[in-house]
A and B are shown apart, each in its own frame.
Chain A
C-alpha cells in the first residue's frame, strides 16, 4: 500500500514517526486531565509519600502545595504542560521530587534487560520446538507442543510467575524469588515472560515451517540432492523466518503488558514497577513518563520489526 515514489523504508519511518507523535499527544492530554481531576487532595498524597503517613499533617501538605504550584489555574497549567512535553521535559516526580527523566533512564535499563532476556529465551524455546513440530505435522512433538502452547496461553502471566517462584525458588531453590542486584535475579521474571511468548512463536514457527516443508521449492531442493540439513538451512529457515519476525511485532504488546505486571510481582525495578507504583500514589508526571516511554518503546520496536521484515523479504520492497 505504499504511495508511489516513496521508498518502503521511508514509508515505514514516516508512518511510525507520525504514530509516535500522535501517541505522545494522546498520553500527554490524558495525563493533564488526570492531574486536574485527581480525586482528593494531591498535596496530601505527595506529602504522605515524602514523609510517611505517620507524619503527614495539614502543614506538610500546605508546604507541598505551594512548592509544586498545585494551586495555579488550569489553563496556565495546560500551557505549561504542553510546553514542557514539547521540550522533552518530563518534569519531576510528585512523590520523590526527582527528575523523572533520570528515574526512567535508570529504570529503562532494567526493563530492557528483562525484555531482552525474555525475548532471547523465548526465541531459544519457541521456534526450536516449532520447527521440530513443523517437520512432522501431526507427529508426537506437534501434538505435545500444541497442547502445551494452548494451556500456557490460557494461563495469566502473573499466575505462571507465582507458580515458577513456588517451584523453582521456594521448593527447589535454584533461583532468587524476586528483587534485583544478583546476576540471576532476572531469570525468573524473564522465564515467565518467555514461556508465554514461546507459546505463541512456537505455533507460528510450526505453521510457517510446515508450509515451507510442503512447498515445491523445498521438494526441489531435495531432488537436487541436498541433504536434509542443507535443505533446512538453505531454504527452510530463511523462509520461515519472515512470519516469525513479523510475529515478533505482535508479541511486543505481550512483552510490554507482561513487563508491567511481572515487574510488580517480582519487585523488578523497571518502568512497569514504577508505573504501578506511580498509579498507586497518583504521581501523574511519573505515570505520564512511564506510559510515554512504553508507548515510544513499543513504536520503536515495531519500526525495527518492520525494517527487519523488509530486509528479510525482498518481495515487500516493491
Chain B
C-alpha cells in the first residue's frame, strides 16, 4: 500500500490464491527465501515483514500529540528527548542536558545543553526553546505540578530553574515524558502541539492516529547513528491479536503480552521472549474512609485473605512475583528485605473481623448487626482491562474474599473509573497496577499517591503525618545514608498501615523476532531502545 515493493512480496501475492487451498489440504508452508538468505529453516515466515523496517506492536494508542498525552510514546520511539535520562536503576543520566550544577541550597539548577543537539527541522536546540517547552508543560497536567518551581528561564546558553525549596527529585521530574522538549515550530500560537519535532535519533515521518506512526533515522542526530533505519509502531488493542502477530512473525517487537501468551511464545522455536521485572506493582486500592475499612484490622484481614502465591503462580505464571511488600526487589532503594512478608492466613483474617463485630451466616458470608439493622459485608471492586492480567487477578481476588465471607462484585470498566471513584468518594475497592517509576524517582509517585489528601492511584481516606514528614524530608535531604533511612521508614509505614494492599509485582515482557538483536528491555519502560538495536546477521 505504501509503495515499497520487493520481489518476495510480489511472488507471495501470486501464491495467495493457492494458499487457502493448500491450508485446507494441510500442505506444508512454501519455502520463501529470506532477504538475508540464511533462514532456510526459519519457522517464522519471512513473507509478512518489510525488509529494513522494524515493526513494533503494542497496546497503547496515540490519543494526541501533546507530551502530556502521548509523550511516552514519542519517548519510547526516541523521537523526542527530555532534559534528563535515567539509568536502569533510576539514577539520573544526561539527556538533552549534557551537564548540570545546583546551588548550595539546592534551589537553583543550571543545565548545559548538548552543543550539537538539533531538532528534526534542522534548527539547533537552544536554551530559549527548552524554556518555552517547559513553561508550556507546566500549564498542562503532568509531573511538573509536583515540583516547587519558582521560575524557569534561559541564562546565557544555559537553562536556569529556580525552586521554592530544595527538591532532590528534579532530574527525575525532568526525565518524565510530559517534560519533553519539542521545537518551537511544533506549537501553534496558542501552545497547542501541531507536530512532533523532537531532537532524538529518530524523526517522525508518518502519523496516522490513533493506531500507527512511522519513524526514520535522523541524519542530524549528534550521537552515533543507529543501525535501524526505519521503524513503525502499530497499536493493537487486543492481547490475543498481539500474540498472534508475534507468532506469525509479522511484528518484530511485541509488547503487552498476557502471561498465557508469553508462556506459549517462550516455547516457540525461534521467537525470543525478553522480560524484566519492573517497578510496577499490582495492588488493591481501598477506601480507608469507608466505615468497614477504616480500622486497620479490616484491611489487615483482606490482606491475609489473599493467596498471593496462588495468583502469581496461576495468573502471572511465576510464583516469585507474589508481592511480599509494596516495593518490588528491583527498587532496591525502597525494597526493605527485613519487613515481615505479607502472607495468607484465613483463620487469622476471620479472627480480626470477629474482633470488629462481624459474624458468619450459614453460607459463610459475613454480617454485622447494629441493633435493629443487619448489614452484609459486600464491596465493589473496580478494575480495567488495559493490562490483560488485571481482570483475571480481579476474578481471583473476588473469589478469595468470598472465602473470607466478603461478597465482591467486579466492575470491569475504564481505567478512569478509579480516579473518578476516588474523587467522588464512591470507590470501595480497586485493582490497579502502579508504576513507581513513572518518573525515574519513586519519590514523585509516592508524593502523588500518599500525600495529605491521598492520591487517585494511591491512598484514599488515609493519611499519616509521619509519612508526609518523611517524604518532605526526602525532597530536601541530599545525604545518601539519611535518604536511605527515610526511604526505609516510608516503606515501613506503608507496610504496616496498608493504605493499599499489594498483590503482585510485575514483569514486563516482549516477544522479539530473530531478525533483530535486542538491546535489552528498559526496566523503566521509558524506551524501546531502537537506537541500540541491530539487525541480526
Contact = CB atoms under 8 A, between A and B. Distances in A.
B44 interface: yes
Interface in B24-54: 29, 44-45, 47-48, 50
A267 B141 contact: no
B246 to A, nearest CB: 9
B417 A181 contact: no
Interface string B207-236: 011111000000000000000000010111
Question: A47, A167, A177, A281 — which one has the most chain B CB atoms within 10 A of its CB?
Answer: A177
A174 B46 CA distance: 9
Contacts of A265: 238, 241
A152 interface: no
B57 interface: yes
Contact of B419 (A56, A95, A178): A56
A187 B17 CA distance: 11
22 contacts: A45-B416, A48-B419, A50-B63, A51-B141, A55-B68, A55-B143, A55-B438, A58-B419, A162-B240, A173-B248, A174-B16, A174-B29, A176-B250, A177-B245, A177-B248, A177-B250, A178-B236, A179-B234, A179-B236, A180-B212, A181-B234, A277-B61
Interface of A: 40-41, 44-61, 63, 95-98, 162, 165-184, 187, 191, 264-267, 269, 273, 277, 280-282
Contact of B386 (A53, A60, A175, A282): A53
B414 A48 contact: yes
Contacts of A181: 1-2, 212, 232, 234
A45 B416 CA distance: 5
B48 A191 contact: no
Given A170-B247, A174-B23, A40 B234 contact: no
Top 7 nearest A-B pairs by Cβ distance?
A: A173-B45, A48-B416, A44-B420, A53-B415, A60-B141, A174-B19, A41-B420
B281 to A, nearest CB: 13
Interface string B380-393: 00001010000000
Given A54-B438, A187-B16, 18 more contacts: A40-B416, A49-B63, A51-B141, A55-B142, A55-B438, A56-B416, A58-B423, A97-B64, A169-B250, A171-B29, A173-B48, A174-B16, A174-B47, A177-B248, A178-B244, A179-B57, A181-B2, A182-B50
A154 to B, nearest CB: 19
Nearest to B60: A52
B158 to A, nearest CB: 29
A283 to B, nearest CB: 10
Given A173-B29, A176-B248, A177-B248, A55 B178 contact: yes
Contacts of A264: 237-238
B84 interface: no
A250 to B, nearest CB: 26
Nearest to B5: A183
